Every structure is written in structure tokens, then in C-alpha cells.
Structure 1
């Protein structure tokens, strides 16, 4: 009952916010005169004012009178801000969370350089990506589209439906839809050449784009072709930026409450407490505190503050921080894309089209080196330095544990490539009497390759490190014991005392390469029809309907060691499965009130879709059917003042990866509340063939205003959203699994493995339909365009656009309780990122004659670092609490970007040549230094790069 009351209170509060905003706007603007704002007038109407189909609906309309909120990102925004791809533009839109971008890829091997869209912070897989209204070929086995594969140079606009749209498009449109509209009627040739670099000499990037087109077949046909090349050279390691130079870490306080210090300390100068480049002895206590220099000589290990033999970090001392050095903030990648489009009028009433595209992204990253904190070393190991051996003999110590950072053994090196081919061909026609139809076939295939070299094989590494002698010669113990069944002739003894003391044979035996090859394939056949069968007292009733058949398959294999989860990290995965979908839908718009003299209008919109799914894979098969629907309305009491509301039921079916992929292993830093230690532990991630579909109940309510008179060109909209996802397919995160078990949610405890001393040795991050997700908030959009005095006799133009999102809730709930990450601006290790309470993006452009200047301000509201912890700033803070922390707040941040463009006419063409340049993060603002899931801050939200310069030229003939 409390949850229901909280939800009701939240919705009431959001309605009051919308209402207050509306009242303020009405009071300030007087009598309105039009509908919703857009960035590009071409998004609302075609040439001649003909209606078009706007995203979120299958029915053509004469403007943005859809009941579903829609945001438009025009091509001019990408050009004004010098952006190289649509993914970068969307990541700055407040409704999105930039979860996957180059600066979050860093040490990971999969999809290096990719950009995925995460609308509402509900996860990439809950945002549907369309190109020209059709599903794009998936780039990953999660069905996600890499936006880098779509050439930015021919994007006309991007329409974003910020609400559920499964009734219109099917599965995955839970958070909303991104529909990228390409410009297929290019006449002539145009292109762009640009480059960029940071003030620190890294972050280099070049872009070359070329597109052209012309009429053919005596004007009854047209072709457009485009090509784009982008090379990104990456960013230096974390020590090249101030936030990381402070070496932030999470320290466990052995005695919470002593001297007023809490249980968890976020502090700078964090060092590895149990590893050293040449090795350090951790147990027993009689030998602990001895380390080995590069030559293998024993020397004292100076322990820092809060040292613990079971904790990952300490402050200061001789510790070494292996988590930041050498690993790049953003990896290198290279991408290119090719695109061709052909249209032709086949008869007076039938036209056809053909789309061909190919895109490829290849990336390289540097991963972590091996880190071992408890390697057992027996007394008969011949590599033990003589002084230590003598101490062991004198004190009757049979063995000790060695902690070692393996930088001398080299880092793992990642490489991935994604190549996507797409073909779409279709027909469309006019049946007369306002009836139109279209049908198309689409084929898409993606080939994905992933390889990581120099990865530790822990079982082999430990066999090689466990050395004895045989005939006075060092050998692996497995080859010298009394059991011949465990002999391994390839095993070579590994000397870990000092640096570079090992043999190449031992290194080759202990390290290997992971390999993965996967192919995704999609086939789509669809047909649609729409028209106006009859009229009501208020005007014609519009209807649309259609059917779609779609198959998605994924097949691929990995190396044998990966399949056995034998590598320390980066194990490749195998997959073999497919899905088959048949669906049909119907939609209608019924006018209930209409006036020819600018009086009130009222339209009702409804849609329903029935979908049948079948899944088949190596681990099983399943099937189910689902019905999704939407109902909404638009009320315009006076011309220009518009209210809209939508209620929908949406679904997301499990994808092939979630159902049928093999298990993989990674390393995660986890705070164990039971042992009060921070450790790096293996995390197992696996599929689940028994998953069922997610179900989302969504509603939006909003208002748009555009006044006339003295405020002609001014527009405003506010839309409240509430999305509740039940039966959510999700992984809680490694840290959350541990926290939930400790908090009493016993179903999480089987996913944690502890050794005989109670130390966590493995955690499984499960994938189940066990959680519910909920998000709510308000999107605001304000735009103003007006003429102003220019230089000389020129007339200037001022264009202002503000996008802002207030996030009220971003909640995950399971049997262990409820976590609301709205307002969380930190990215704690082992957990999910949150969303700021407020995000805003303001773009102001002033143009006069050939010159235009654009300023962009991006605002991130102050927030909480970790909503699962309690700091001195929080209610209920007590340093004796196991989740108490020394600080838990991050300040607000504002980034300022400036760009200038200058057009040079040639041969009567005013747009023949344009020179442009700009500065991003003008004041070189860096984030607060705090231990994060990715280095020294939350690089999902904050800018780790600093000041960056862009320069280039565009031409059109």
C-alpha cells in the first residue's frame, strides 16, 4: 500500500508541475496560435503542406498533433556542433543516458567504439532504433543497433518518441523509439572534412563524408549515394587527467565509528594493498610485509593507512595502483559506411525503392594486466630468494601467499570488428480516395569478430607458479608428484619473484588469446495500408493496418578455453538460437470535435497489435503471444494550445543472447559487508532459456504552446512520463547481488561462492524476470526564433532551443527491496548508473549573412554518488552503519561549447563552401575525483576529456 501511495503522490506532484508550467506560460504569452515546437519545419510537413507519417504512429498527419511526445533532432544540430555521428548528438539529449560510448568502452573487448542509445536510462535493449520507419539490422546479439553504422552526412532528422510505442512497432519500444530519417533526394555533390584534438594532444579524430545524387529515367527516378570515413585515435590513460591522478579508491574501515570515521572511505592516493610489481608476501603474518624489488631481492613493504591483507586498497605506502596505469580513457576505433538509395515511379500510382548499406566499425583497446593476491608458494619452490627461504626454515613455515601485479607479463589487448550489411526493397502506391499502401522486404546481416590476446589462464598460471625441483631442475609440481594422471608436459615453471624473471615458455603456457565469431541475421517482410473509410460529424476517420513477419538469428562460436570460462577475464561467448515473429496491428484516429474558425478540436487515437513469438536454441525452445495497445487523445481548446495524453501497454521479448548465449566471466571490484573488505572477484554472466517477456504500462500527459503576436516564433512543451516495467529481464549487478543477500533476500545467496575463510571467490550476476523497473519525470522543450539586427545591412537571426528533463524516479525493485537511482550522478563499481535529477541542454545560434555562431550549455544537476550508501549529508547518517561513507554528494556541472561557421559563396552558390571551428568544454571543467565503475569519475555523465578543438570545411555543388 505504501508503494501505491508513493506512486500516486508522485504522479500528483508531476501533474502539478506540468500545470504550474502551463499556467505560467499562458500568463506570459496570452492567446496562442499553433501546435508543438520542432527543430526543423521539414519534420512536420512535406513540401506543399502534405501530411506525413510521424514516428509513433502509422497514420499520416498534417503536423505534430500526435498524442505521443516527440522530440526532433535536425541535421543542423549535428552540423552546428561539429558532431561526427548521431549517437553523439543523442547522448547530449537530456532524455538519454550515455551508457555506451567510446569513453565507457576503455578496457572492455566487446563492441569497441560502438554507440548505443539508452532512452530514459532503462537500458539499450529497451530503445527501438528505426531507419526511415523500418527496423535496422541489429549490431549485437542483444538486438541493439550501433548508431555509428549509420552515416551522419545524410541524416535529415531524427525523431524521438519518448514513450512506449510497441503497438506501432512491436517489441523493444518500451522506453521509446528513435527513427532516423535519411535524406534520399540529394541533388548534386556535398561533403565534409573535419578534425579534432584535445588541449592535451590526444582525443584526435578525423571525418571525411561525401554524398551525391541526381534524377534519372527522365525525372521518374532518383538515386542517392553516400560514403563516410571516421578515425578516432583515443585518449591517453587515466593519469593524463586530473580526476584520475588523485587515484581515488574505496577503502573499508576496519573499525567503523572509531574516531568518527564511517565504514566506507572514498579517498585519494589509493594503492593496491596486496599486490606489487615484483611480488609481496601477504600471509602468514611472520613474513607479511616483505616485498621483492625488480631483481627479486626482499625489501620491506611499507604499509599505508587502512592496510588489510584482505582488502584491495590502502591509502599511501608502497602500494601500487594497477587499475589506472596504461588503460586508455577511450580506445581507438575506425569506422566507415556506404549507402545507396534508388527510387522510381513504376506507374502513375506505384513507386518502388531500393536501399543498400554497409557499415563497419573496428576498435582496439588495452585491457588490464593480471592481478593475483593469494598465490600459494611452497617451501620447496626453487625460485624463493635465499633470505626468505632461510626465514621459512628457521620459523618452520611451510608456505606463504604471494600477491603480484603482472604488468611485466603484459596487458591484455582487445580488438573487435562489426560489419553490417542491409538491403531493403519495397513498393508503395495510391489506391485513390485517400487510400495508400506499402510493402517491403528487408534483409540484414552482421558479422562480429572479437579477439583478446595475452589473457591469463588462471588454472595454467597456478600450475606454472607451483614449482618444485626434480633432479635439481625447476619443474611444475604437477609433473613431479606421484600422480601421473595430472601431468602436463607443456607446463613450464614460472618465476614470479621480481620483474621479468620468467621464461618465455612459462609465459606462453600461462597466457592465451580469446576468440569469438558471431553472425546475426534478420529477415523482415511487412505490408501496410491506410486510408479514410468514413467520416464522423467532426471529419474523416483515419485507419491503418498491417502485418509483419520477422526472423532474427544468431550463430557463432568461441575458443575452447573461453567456453570453459578458463580465462581470467574477457572470455568469449558462443551462441546459437533464433526467433520468429508474426504480428498484425490496427490503428485509428477518430475526430470527435472540429471547428473551421480556430475553435476547439478533439481527436482520439488508438492502436492494437497482436504478436506471436517462437524461440529456438541449443538449450531449449519456447513460444508465447502478446497483445499491446495504445490509446490517446489530443485536445486543442484554442488554436495553438494543445493538450495530449497517451496510455499504452508495451512489451519487450527476450532476445537470442539473453536466452541462448554461453556463460562468460569478468572481474569486478566488490565491497563485502560480511568481511568488511573490498576485493576483486570473478563474476559469471550467463543466459537463461526460461525467460519470458517484459510488460510495460506507460502513460504520458503534456501540453504544447506556441503564441503569436509579439512572441511569434516562441514555443514551449512539457510532457510528464511514467513507465512501469514488470517481469523485467535484468541483471542486478555484482555488488547488488552481494548487498541483497546480506540484506536478507535469500534467493540471491546461491549466486555467491565463499571459501572456507568466508572470502568471496565468485559471484554470478543472474539474468531473470525477477525485477520491476519504474521511471517517471517531465520533459521540457522551449524554442524561440526571431530576427535581429545583423552586420551592416544584413538581417540577423537568433535561434534558441532548450531541452530539459526532470527525473522523478528511476527505480529497480525486487524481493530485497527498492533502489531509486534518480538523482544518482556517481557510477559505483558493480552497480548500475543512475540519472541526474535535472539534465538540460541549451543551444543558442546567432546568424547574420555568411557568419553564424553557436553556443551550447549542458547542465548536470548536483547529485548523490551512491544511493545505497549514507553519507554525512544524508538523513540517518551514523558512522557505525555498514553502508556509511565519508561523503556521498557530487556537485553540479555546466559545460560550455562554442562554434563558429562562415560560408563562402562560389559561382552564385551561397553554400558552396563553409569553414567551421569550435571549442568544447571551453573552461576545461573536470569531474569530481571519486572511485567509479570506470576510472576516476562517472564518464557516462561527466566529461573526462577536457577542452577539445574541432575544425573543418563543408562544400556543396
Structure 2
């Protein structure tokens, strides 16, 4: 495919063949929301607020038991979540650039902003203006299970659940638990260690419980230079060693007219670079390219402290009080190569000579250039140049990201009578983020210091020429901060209509409720970042915004069952949300589903869900910054053609004088010089306050098989189809101009009204009020496929370690076949669709394999459990045209993990394991004399300049640590 829009701007066998998955990954066997309502065996399942005995629901639910986290040696929950086939990895511990020290979950590749994260069935904290949850804040050691619900769940949980819901269920603790884990790669680096503890006690005959917990976690960094496959920046065609054209020696550009955008340093010569200090020579590639890869982080360092607790006390059947508290301090650093800086300035030849910065040969070249200039610039002792330098002497660019998160929940629940119960709670969370950026440079100070005097002049003429005092002239430490908070007040009533039931089924059940949420977020850059006077990390504009929403919701479940066991169930849910955002206002979300079990062994199910997502604070209110993208104004005429018809009317409505439309002043430049003086148009980039809600339609159809003649076996298959319309997306300025003027031709449409900049008297877009290029509700995203799951547990009639004569065998498999993963940048243009199923690259981003599975086989012989996990990704192809591919294909990928766990006694458990048992890693590149890669490139070697990945691979998808060992101990008393 050749489409160059990027989806990432949003913005990705048989049972025996994989008869092994997370032993505890059981789709229809587990409960969901907080295990709160356990009266007479009733539980609440994620995806519904109605308590029921039957844990099967119309919506598919995959459940990951806590044992999977311990068996895989995982401390951060992202490492297990990203192995699930429903998930396309988001930001992880390997996301250095881009990356912000967080870990997110991205269901179905629809984006982290469209995936709702819950803890105990309630919203968790988010960390920035995009309202995304950082998985680093979830206490892995307290997990009871994780429920993953497919499809929109806005009718039950509200906005954001377009792709689905991930619900982390935390357990209560009885007694004291202390644990620890240590991990280390085979190469002896990347150490990770965790210490955790929890104490809990029930009281008042079990009517109350208090649990307190704490954790310390530390992860050491690994640099790209520590692995042979990531030590070089790769790119180009053929694939070869490449790098940056801004070297530590300083590179100059100049042409004979003093135009710094020219292509040569002097007439008829190559670009110039300084070799030995003060000595000028020709610039050559690839010899003089700077290899920035080795000093970038491969694994980010992390340090985390976590404290929290929860408590409940049942005063009577009618009143139980509960609370949850959590505080997390999390620091994750990222590190890039030293700052590259590019400035247009002049060089004062006499000053450079007086300070001894250049040698005689270079002085002679400079004076020849000065003499070749014309007019007042001739022989004035100055030459205009473009300076390009890598500021190695200032050290690497380091981003110190520290987040402090706090959350409190307090509520009451109870039984009103035998048929009705209530639950009401208030939740508040706030995250403060401090972001310190080291290694930045002030562009203005650097430019001034090139030709300064005395101690303020810097020597840029050669590698290592900048002294510490010189570096202090321009080096700056920038800082920004985020403050984000959410408040939720919710109350619900659930129960049955007395004993009224259809046949032998449970009574008809319902739930109704109200909810109010207030969301606010603020991004605060310092003076350097806000002004744009910074090189190193990107500048940013202040962002601040808030909104609130008031909601009413309801659910109804109507079961029917015959005496013979045939069961039929219909359920529905609806939610009305009234947003304070004028562009959203009141919106509806709703869902309906059916289940049919003709015999107890077989259940058919189907569900439809309409979900909504309101735009977040960042999408609405992000601060603006001006840029100058290249584009052609349709009103200026293309190739001399004069606009007519609808285009002419749109140009007139936009304020272009009739006499100037299509006026051709200079045929050589193919545009109107009055309406568009040059090839770039001043444009503001930022949020769009005119955004409306996104909507999605989800369909799932499935079957659950639990054959009574094979006890312990459950097989499920579910087809899913999710379409997100009016998806918020940012496209190029040229695309917006073409859409608004040539296609829609209505500047008051939702797509165009925010873009509509003010033109000057001649009809040109002016800088006083330029067009705005923010997100717009213009895209469509669709995914479809089949989720497959099988779980089997049985006993084997022999044992080596116990007298029981039996051993337990658990086999599980969870896989997804992705049929489509499509992105239409302009939903009104069905011919322009990006297809990403089975692809990767600059357009599609993270690989989306057509088939992904994770499987596990566990053998328990008394106190000893031996477990093997198999993870598989099918092959993926580059998303560009074959002629453009540097790496056309990444072959199928398999990892095997092994874990042993031993219960020393009832209180002490020890475990050890090896992840990536066979040390499957990206292939080390081999080079010929010209620096070209000569080995097979279909082995996770991807050109940096082609596919937009990190470390010459996709480290969030493919393992980059190699064989990795872990050991853990857990003690209960």
C-alpha cells in the first residue's frame, strides 16, 4: 500500500497446536467487578452491574488469573497484558523515543484513549491531558484477576470504552504477606527487583476487613549499545548503517550567494565539516554521519514506591461502609543522544582568527567566500552560514519523569430488602507530573555566543572544542509539569422484581443509577519550552481545560429456563450522558444481547453495543504553536486553473476577493502569488474546541462449549466487529484544504469550522489569525476477527511427590485471528483506506499480526508446579509499496518460557523461571565494506528512517532482553 497517512497518529492452528496458555486465562469461568455481591452465590461480572449466579454473559470476557503474573515473573502488569492477543502494545518499559515513562493498554489497536481501565469495577487514575491510565500505578502483587471485555461498554461504564474494558480486580488479604523478586538478563544487565508486603485482618466475625499494602520496585537501564542488533542506526535502501547529519565536529552549509539553504559550502565543493579543531574538510556520507543509537536507552530505568489500603465494615445488612486508598510515586527516565542544533547565523572571521578557533587554511577559505559575495556583503568580514552540530560536550538529553498519584474511594452499600440492594460512592484521584529535561540548549544563546566576545564566545570548530564554561553559556535545564484529576460520584440500585421469573430461571433483574464526573487537566511548560527557544526536547504550549458530565443509566436482564435445562436470556443497557461541552451535549449509549443454551453443554451468544467517547482535554484545549507546512491554497489555482462552481463559492465565502481568485502571476511557480506568496502557509497546531464525540458500533457473535463428556474442558469462539465513526484524527494541512474547499465545500461543517483562518485583504491566510490544524472528527477505524479460547484441567493418575497418586494438568490457549484492522483518514472517502491487518511500518505503526496467541501448560505434582508458556506472532509485511521496502517482511515469531514453583510449606513459596528460553533476539547485522547489511533482513531488522520504530525493531512487541532469569519468594504468616 502507498497511503502515507499514519494510523499511529490516532492515533497499532488447532487446539493441540497451541494447547497451552495462561493456566488461569479462562473467559467464562471467572467473576468480574470487585466480587462485591456474593449473597447466596451471586456475583457481579465485568461488563454488567447486575449480580447473577451464571457468570456467562452475552459479551465475551477473557480473564487472566493472578497466577499468570507470578508464573511469568512479571512485576509490571503491562508485561502480561501486552502478551494477550486482544492487545496491540502501547507505551512500555522499552519506549524511549517516543515515550514518556508510562505504560498503557491498547485494545484491538484502537488506541489507549479508547480503552477504559477499571480497578474493582471503578475508574482508575489518569496521568495527562489525554486521560490515559498509567499501568505502573496498579499493584500487581495484589491482583486477583484481570477481566478483558471486548467491544464498546459505554452503556455500562460511560465514555472511553469504545474498544472495551480492562478491569483489574484486587483481593483482600488475611494475615501478613511478604514477597520479593529479582530478575537479570543472561548478559548480566537490566536488573529488576521488587519488595512488597501486605497485612490484612478480618474482624467482627468477618463483617469487616482492613488491608494495607506497600511496594518498592527498581529497574536498571540497558543502553542500545549493549546489544549488537541495536548498536547502529540502520536505514536506507539497501539497508545500511546510517545516522544523523548533525555531527559533533560541526557541519557548515553555504553557497556563493550567501544563501544558507544552498547545497554546498563553497562553489563546486561538498558540504564542509571540521576535522581536527579549526581545520575544514569536505563532508562525506556515510563516513561523517553521527551514530546516535548506542547512547539511547533500550530498557528505561524505573523506581517506584507504592502505598495503599482498603477497608470495609458491615454495620448491618442494610449498610456496609468501604474505602480504598492508593498513593504511587513513580520515576522513569529516558535518555537520548546529545542535542542536535541547527541555526542560521553569520561568522565573524576576524573574531575567529583572534581567538584561535580556525587555522590559516580555513581562514583563507572564509575570506575567499567573503570576497565572492556581492554588494554590501562583499569583504565585510562576515559570511552567512548554517551551523549544524551535535552538542556532545553538553551530555546526553535526559528526561527525568516523576509522577505522584493519589486516589481515594469512599462509599456505602447494602440490602434494602430481599430483592433490592444499593451502592453509592465518591472517588477522587489526582496525578502530578514533574518533567525535568537535561541537555537542552537555548537556540538564541547558542547563536549569539558563536560570534560573542570574551568569555561568551564559543568554539564550534571541531569535535570536543566546547569547554565546560562555553557549554554553560547555552545549556539549559527545562521543566514542565502536568496536573490531572477526576472526580466521580455514583449511585446505583439493583435487584429483581420480587420472585417473578420465567420458567425455572432466576428472577428478572435490573440495575439503575446516576453518575457525575468532573475531569480537569493542565500542562505547564517553563519559559524556555513555552517560548520555543529550546533545542533538544520539543517545545510545548500551556494547556488547561476541564469539563463535567451527568449521567443516568439502566440495565435489564430477562432469563428464561425450562425444566429440561434449555436456557434463553435477553439483556439490555442504556445510558444518557449530558456533557458540559457544547459540541457534545447529550448523547446516548446502549447495548443489547442474547444467550441461548439449547443444552447445558452449548451456549450461543450475541451482542450489539453503541458506545461513545467524548474528546479529552488535550484534544480540546491543547495549547497552540505556529508552524509552516508546505501546501497549496486551492483558491490560488493549481497549474493556472481558475476555480469555478462550488470551489469558487467556497473561496468567496472564506473572504478571498473575487478578482484575486485563481490569479496567475508567475506560471513558473504554479500558484497565485497574491493569495499565496510562498509554498508554505503559517498554521497553528493545537487542540480543537469544536470536536464532537466519537461513536462506535460493536457486534459480537460466539459460542461456548462445555461438553459434559469431557469434564474440565471449555472452548469458546467469538467473532467481533467494531467500527469507530467520527474518530478524532489529525491530517496534513494539504488534506484539510482539499477536503474543505474541494470536497465538503462548507467551512461551517464540523471538519472545517475550526480550521477556518482569517484571510488578509488580498485573500492570503495571515499570521494574525492563521488556520488551525488540530484534531477533527473525520476518520473511521474498523477492526474485526475471531477470539479463540480453550481451557482444560484434569488429573493424571500418578505422582512422584505426594501420596495422592495424582498430578494436575492444566492446558490453556488464547488466540486472536485479526481479519481486518482498517483506518480511513477521511471517512467520507471509502476509496482511501489503510489496511493494517498483518502489517507494520511507518503508516500502521506497531505490528498487527493476523494471528497472535499465548498458551501455557502447567503440571502440578503436590507442592511442585512446572509451567511452560508459548507465545506466537504470525509474520507481518511492510505497509509501503514493495519498491519502497527496506525490510519487506518480519517472519513468524515464537517465544518459549519456563517456570518452576515450589510450596515449601503452607506459608512459603519459592519460584524461578526463564523467559525467552531459547534466546530469540533480532539478528545481529553483518555489513559489507560499504556498510550495507548483508544478512536476511526479515528477522526483526527494520530501518529507522523507514518504519518509525525504535532500536531497529519494535521492542514493545518483540523481545529485546534475550534469555531472562527471575527468582521470587513469597511468605505468608
CA distance in 2, matches of 1:117, 1:81: 18
Are residue 418 (structure 1) and residue 418 (structure 2) matched? no
CA distance in 2, matches of 1:355, 1:205: 28
CA distance in 1, matches of 2:784, 2:206: 50
CA distance in 2, matches of 1:564, 1:827: 34
Higher mean displacement: 216-225 or 521-530: 216-225
SS at match of 2:105: coil
Pairing 1:452-467 to 2, within 5 Å after superposition: 452-465=437-450, 467=451
- Could you say if the C-alpha distance between residues 42 and 69 of structure 1 is closer, same or farther in structure 2, counting changes exceeding 3 Å? closer
- The corresponding residue for 2:728 is 729
Pairing 1:909-924 to 2, within 5 Å after superposition: 909=906, 912-924=907-919
CA distance in 2, matches of 1:764, 1:888: 37
CA distance in 2, matches of 1:767, 1:629: 26
Cα deviation, residue 433, structure 1 = 3.2
- The corresponding residue for 1:546 is 513
**CA-to-aligned-CA distance 1:455-510 (integer Å, 9 cap, x gap):** 12334333333x27xxxx579xxxxxxxxxxxxxxxx3332111232354543343
1:586 to 554, 571, 585: 554
Cα deviation, residue 203, structure 1 = 1.5
- The corresponding residue for 2:287 is 317
Flag structure 1 segments of 5+ consecutive residues without an equivalent: 1-16, 29-34, 252-264, 305-315, 476-491, 616-620, 669-681, 752-761, 872-878
When the two structures are aligned, how many residues end up with a matched partner? 825
Higher mean displacement: 35-44 or 781-790: 35-44
Cα deviation, residue 216, structure 1 = 2.4
Q: Is the 8 A contact 1:36 1:705 kept in 2?
A: no
SS at match of 1:364: strand
- The corresponding residue for 2:67 is 76
Flag structure 2 segments of 5+ consecutive residues without an equivalent: 1-12, 20-24, 254-262, 373-382, 630-681, 746-750, 757-769, 923-939
- Could you say if the C-alpha distance between residues 740 and 864 of structure 1 is closer, same or farther in structure 2, counting changes exceeding 3 Å? farther
**CA-to-aligned-CA distance 1:188-238 (integer Å, 9 cap, x gap):** 1112111111112221100111112112245432111111111111222x2
Q: Is the 8 A contact 1:530 1:545 kept in 2?
A: yes
- Could you say if the C-alpha distance between residues 93 and 532 of structure 1 is closer, same or farther in structure 2, counting changes exceeding 3 Å? same
**CA-to-aligned-CA distance 1:241-264 (integer Å, 9 cap, x gap):** 232235311x3xxxxxxxxxxxxx
Q: Is the 8 A contact 2:279 2:358 kept in 1?
A: no
- The corresponding residue for 2:941 is 929
Structure with more of its chain in strand, by fraction: 1
Q: Is the 8 A contact 1:103 1:939 kept in 2?
A: yes
- Could you say if the C-alpha distance between residues 765 and 810 of structure 1 is closer, same or farther in structure 2, counting changes exceeding 3 Å? farther
Are residue 531 (structure 1) and residue 542 (structure 2) matched? no
- The corresponding residue for 1:713 is 712
SS at match of 2:544: strand
SS at match of 1:432: coil
Pairing 1:528-927 to 2, within 5 Å after superposition: 528-533=492-497, 535=500, 537-538=502-503, 539=505, 540-568=507-535, 569-591=537-559, 593-598=560-565, 600-615=566-581, 624-663=585-624, 686-709=686-709, 711-731=710-730, 766-788=774-796, 789-791=798-800, 793=803, 794-815=805-826, 818-828=832-842, 832-865=845-878, 867=879, 869-871=880-882, 879=883, 884-905=884-905, 909=906, 912-927=907-922
- Could you say if the C-alpha distance between residues 839 and 949 of structure 1 is closer, same or farther in structure 2, counting changes exceeding 3 Å? same
RMSD after superposition:
3.5
Pairing 1:261-340 to 2, within 5 Å after superposition: 265=237, 267-273=239-245, 275-279=247-251, 283-284=264-265, 285-301=267-283, 303-304=284-285, 316-322=286-292, 324-340=293-309
- The corresponding residue for 2:317 is 348
**CA-to-aligned-CA distance 1:375-431 (integer Å, 9 cap, x gap):** 555463624443123124346454444432222232222111111111111111112
CA distance in 1, matches of 2:628, 2:215: 37
SS at match of 2:159: coil
CA distance in 1, matches of 2:737, 2:73: 44
Q: Is the 8 A contact 1:343 1:352 kept in 2?
A: yes
SS at match of 1:561: helix
Q: TM-score, normalised by structure 1?
A: 0.80
2:147 to 140, 159, 163: 159
CA distance in 2, matches of 1:217, 1:559: 54
Cα deviation, residue 319, structure 1 = 2.6
Q: Is the 8 A contact 1:74 1:158 kept in 2?
A: yes
- The corresponding residue for 1:755 is none
CA distance in 1, matches of 2:34, 2:547: 36
**CA-to-aligned-CA distance 1:155-193 (integer Å, 9 cap, x gap):** 111111111100000000100011111112x21111211
SS at match of 2:303: strand
Cα deviation, residue 120, structure 1 = 0.8
- The corresponding residue for 1:245 is 231
CA distance in 2, matches of 1:126, 1:581: 18
Q: Is the 8 A contact 1:824 1:833 kept in 2?
A: no
Q: Is the 8 A contact 1:810 1:822 kept in 2?
A: yes
CA distance in 1, matches of 2:55, 2:249: 62
- The corresponding residue for 1:188 is 175
CA distance in 1, matches of 2:137, 2:82: 16
- Could you say if the C-alpha distance between residues 280 and 922 of structure 1 is closer, same or farther in structure 2, counting changes exceeding 3 Å? farther
Q: TM-score, normalised by structure 2?
A: 0.79
Q: Is the 8 A contact 2:422 2:491 kept in 1?
A: yes
Q: Is the 8 A contact 2:246 2:290 kept in 1?
A: no
Are residue 939 (structure 1) and residue 950 (structure 2) matched? no
Cα deviation, residue 763, structure 1 = 14
- The corresponding residue for 1:102 is 93
- Could you say if the C-alpha distance between residues 917 and 770 of structure 1 is closer, same or farther in structure 2, counting changes exceeding 3 Å? same
Q: Is the 8 A contact 1:190 1:956 kept in 2?
A: yes
Cα deviation, residue 39, structure 1 = 6.5
CA distance in 2, matches of 1:683, 1:427: 52
**CA-to-aligned-CA distance 1:641-677 (integer Å, 9 cap, x gap):** 1111111110111111221232479999xxxxxxxxx
- Could you say if the C-alpha distance between residues 768 and 549 of structure 1 is closer, same or farther in structure 2, counting changes exceeding 3 Å? same
Q: Is the 8 A contact 1:825 1:938 kept in 2?
A: no
- Could you say if the C-alpha distance between residues 582 and 494 of structure 1 is closer, same or farther in structure 2, counting changes exceeding 3 Å? same
Q: Is the 8 A contact 1:37 1:706 kept in 2?
A: no
